[in-house]
Amino acid sequence: MIKHIVMWKLKDFAEGADRATNARKMKEQLDACANIVPGMFAFEVALAQPGLEASYDVVLYSEFADQEALKAYGEHPTHHALKPFFGAIREARQCMDYDI
């Protein structure tokens, strides 16, 4: 099994909206990716808690059966459609994949 964790720090203002608005929109778009490929066992998107100092604004935690399932997710059209918006609103992105 492969765990796939991604964190995004968002710009204060981008694409005509503030950070909080873009974070909510990002979460909605990511939530639409749940269960889009076979072998996806877990898919959870969370926003930073208000009032807490956090270095990142949005986090994705997901689990895949194997590298092939993760690759299928990465190549899926629904996933690809997110990239232009995410690229425009993000300040930084961190990703870690690991086998368990």
pLDDT at residue 51 greater than cutoff 80? no
pLDDT score recorded for residue 53: 73
Burial class (CB in 10 A: 0-12, 13-18, 19+), 27: middle
For 2-99, give the CATH class. alpha beta
CA atoms of 90 and 57, how far apart (whole Å): 10
pLDDT at residue 78 greater than cutoff 80? yes
pTM (predicted TM-score) = 0.93
Sequence letter at residue 38? P
